[in-house]
């Protein structure tokens, strides 16, 4: 079963009628609120409807609290880490599934599908299609590439919607086999879990009003002196914004809230990870993501249980193949080329972790 992004007009509740960046030309807050609530209700209804219909892949699971407790975990020996993107050497070649003897992978193979922790609200990376209720995006296609390698069928996945806070506990207690949820590789996280090689490089940037006829802008935070720039409360993006002299920080509960402020004229720009801003730009054609160098670097890796080194090596062989045969660029262009431009060179893997 193929999964394609629906036309922007069918899934972008926040893009209606916005003609310019000036406040006086934007639709009223009340109209936007009615539009957003109506669309949200429709999406929720479609999601319930989809849950009742048959699918060709394993049923998507809803989040449940992890069953492990801190007291039951043995003391963690800190991992020596000077480069968080360094993963284990890939297998020399991708083996036939029937020849794999590794216990963790045999459990996946015997089960008949791979369980994957994902987001359901990160537009373009992992979000529900309002037409059929299925989750789709860049991260989902990466997960499906793994399933295709193991089973010969990209739909042999069970997508489990999880929060950011769920990611490490659910890997530790093996409630999921892997997490593909725009998860940054950090040395601290290597103490608790393991990662594949880097599969996407994200970073903080800004979203601004799109000048008429423009296809590219190079706006930086420093260029926004005296301008109101929105970032969600409690985020590293807001911390970085406050560290830059010139812009006037404004806040909202999340990036969608920032977009509402922006569209109402109460913010002149939004800052956050380029992956998130790309999703906002896809919902509002009168915005554009800056092409200036990223303010921070956020390498994304596939998270797995800390003890699954063979699985990590298998994943690295799959990712190497996906990057070399053009599939990575095809996935990128399918989801991200619109707001971010044509696919760049895939992230270069770093191996040699012991």
Determine the Cα–Cα distance for residues 350 and 82; give it in Å rounded to an integer.
12
The answer to whether residues 118 and 185 belong to one domain is: yes
Beta bridge partners of 287: 209
Residue 287 DSSP class: E
CA distances from 166 to 21, 65, 140, 195 (A): 38, 8, 18, 16
Determine the Cα–Cα distance for residues 84 and 347; give it in Å rounded to an integer.
14
Residue 250 lies in a domain: yes
The answer to whether residues 91 and 131 belong to one domain is: yes
The answer to whether residues 191 and 209 belong to one domain is: no
Nearest Cα to Cα of residue 186 among 68, 39, 303, 84: 84
pLDDT at 78: 58
Between 281 and 52, the higher pLDDT residue: 281
Residue identified by tokens 């296609």 is 141
- Mean pLDDT for all residues in the chain: 82
The answer to whether residues 315 and 178 belong to one domain is: yes
The answer to whether residues 171 and 314 belong to one domain is: yes
Q: What is the mean pLDDT of residues 104-113?
A: 98
The answer to whether residues 209 and 286 belong to one domain is: yes
The answer to whether residues 169 and 83 belong to one domain is: yes
Sign of CA dihedral 97, 103, 108, 109: positive
Q: Structure tokens of 203?
A: 């970073």
Helix H or strand E segment including 198: strand 193-202
Q: What is the mean pLDDT of residues 195-199?
A: 98
Q: What is the mean pLDDT of residues 23-28?
A: 42
pLDDT at 239: 86
Determine the Cα–Cα distance for residues 41 and 250; give it in Å rounded to an integer.
28
Number of separate domains in the chain: 2
pLDDT at 79: 62
pLDDT at 341 over 90: no
53-100 pLDDT, tens digit per residue, is 333 445 555 445 444 443 334 444 556 789 999 999 999 999 999 999
Q: Given pLDDT bands bounded at 50, 70 and 90, which one contains residue 164?
A: confident
69-81 pLDDT, tens digit per residue, is 433 344 445 567 8
The answer to whether residues 185 and 229 belong to one domain is: no
Residue identified by tokens 């800056």 is 290
Per DSSP, the residues of 20-36 read -SSGGGSPPHHHHHHHH
pLDDT at 233: 84
Sign of CA dihedral 327, 328, 331, 332: negative
Q: Structure tokens of 117?
A: 């922790």
The answer to whether residues 222 and 326 belong to one domain is: no
Domain region containing 165: 57-65+79-202+299-340
The answer to whether residues 188 and 95 belong to one domain is: yes
Residue 214's CATH number: 3.40.190.10
**Predicted model pTM:** 0.70
Displacement of CA 303 from its chain's centroid (Å):
13
The answer to whether residues 289 and 225 belong to one domain is: yes
Nearest Cα to Cα of residue 175 among 163, 191, 189: 163
Q: What is the mean pLDDT of residues 208-225?
A: 95
């Amino acid at each position: 079963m193929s999964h394609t992004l629906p036309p922007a007009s069918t899934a972008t509740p926040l893009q209606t009628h916005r003609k310019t960046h000036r406040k006086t030309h934007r639709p009223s807050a009340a109209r936007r609120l009615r539009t957003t609530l109506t669309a949200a209700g429709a999406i929720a209804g479609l999601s319930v409807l989809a849950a009742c219909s048959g699918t060709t892949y394993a049923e998507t699971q809803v989040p449940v609290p992890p069953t492990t407790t801190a007291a039951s975990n043995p003391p963690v020996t800190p991992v020596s880490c000077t480069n968080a993107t360094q993963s284990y050497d890939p297998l020399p070649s991708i083996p036939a599934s029937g020849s794999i003897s590794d216990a963790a992978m045999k459990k996946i193979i015997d089960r008949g599908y791979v369980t994957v922790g994902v987001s359901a609200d990160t537009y373009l990376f992992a979000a529900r299609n309002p037409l059929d209720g299925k989750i789709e995006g860049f991260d989902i296609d990466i997960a499906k590439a793994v399933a295709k390698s193991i089973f010969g069928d990209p739909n042999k996945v069970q997508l489990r919607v999880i929060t950011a806070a769920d990611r490490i506990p659910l890997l530790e207690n093996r409630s999921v086999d892997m997490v593909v949820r725009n998860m940054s590789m950090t040395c601290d996280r290597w103490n608790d879990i393991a990662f594949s090689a880097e599969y996407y490089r994200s970073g903080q940037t800004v979203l601004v009003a799109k000048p008429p006829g423009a296809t590219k802008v190079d706006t930086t935070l420093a260029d926004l002196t005296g301008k109101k720039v929105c970032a969600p409360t409690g985020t590293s993006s807001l911390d970085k914004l406050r560290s830059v002299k010139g812009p006037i920080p404004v806040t909202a509960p999340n990036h969608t809230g920032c977009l509402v402020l922006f569209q109402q004229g109460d913010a002149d720009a939004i800052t956050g990870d380029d992956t998130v801003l790309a999703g906002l730009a896809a919902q509002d054609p009168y915005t554009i993501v800056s092409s200036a160098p990223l303010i921070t670097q956020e390498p994304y890796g596939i998270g797995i249980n800390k003890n699954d080194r063979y699985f990590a090596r298998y994943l690295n062989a799959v990712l190497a193949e996906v990057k070399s045969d053009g599939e990575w660029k095809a996935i990128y262009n399918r989801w991200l080329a619109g707001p971010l431009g044509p696919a760049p060179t895939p992230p270069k893997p770093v191996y040699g972790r012991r």
